[in-house]
Amino acid sequence: MAKGVSIALGTTVWLIAPADLSGLLAQTCATNCVAQQIQFTPGQPIRLEMVNHTSSLVQVEQIVRTNPIPLLPGQALEIDSSFGTAPNTSVVFWDETALSIRAQLVRPNERTLRIEIFPGGQPPGDRSVYIQNDGKVAVF
């Protein structure tokens, strides 16, 4: 009887022990990223793209760098090809009709941040993306 118990215990341990943890390691977010997942190398130049998925005109402005830039419905636009993480910087955006909008961040490659604007979200909606000098990205 003792042999039967030890075989059962050995089998049970084998069944619950993970075989390979390499698939669980953190990886770079490429698409459908939430803000907490995106981080760039501090000081690295970043290409900034905006895409308007709403049916309204959206205004986009890089604080201190640009005046408001109109982004038509369905339009994709490269806002800045040499955007960076130093110093801290922001991109603000708003719907011309004052509708609530939400931002989804996408990192299509290592040095590109794409901000996709969609209708909806909790009022007043998302209004800015903040890129800190440590490379972290936040949506407000």
* C-alpha dist (Å) from residue 17 to 5, 13, 14, 25: 18, 6, 5, 17
Mean pLDDT computed over 113-135: 91
Average pLDDT, the chain: 78
Q: What is the pLDDT of residue 22?
A: 37
Q: Which amino acid is at 59?
A: Q
- Give this prediction's pTM: 0.71
Q: Give me the DSSP letters along 74-127.
A: T-EEEEEEEEESSS-EEEEEEETT---EEEEEE-SSTTEEEEEEEE-SSTTB--
Contacts of 85 (CB under 8 A, 6+ apart): 40, 41, 42, 43, 44, 46, 131, 132, 133, 134, 135
Q: What is the pLDDT of residue 65?
A: 75
Does position 122 have pLDDT exceeding 70, yes or no?
yes
Q: What's the pLDDT at 37?
A: 74
Instruction: Write out pLDDT tens, residues 20-73.
Output: 333 333 334 444 444 457 888 888 888 889 999 999 999 999 877 788 999 999
- Band (pLDDT 50/70/90 cuts) for residue 109 is very high
The correct answer on CATH 2.60.40 for the domain covering 27-139 is yes
Q: Which residue has better confidence, 112 or 2?
A: 112
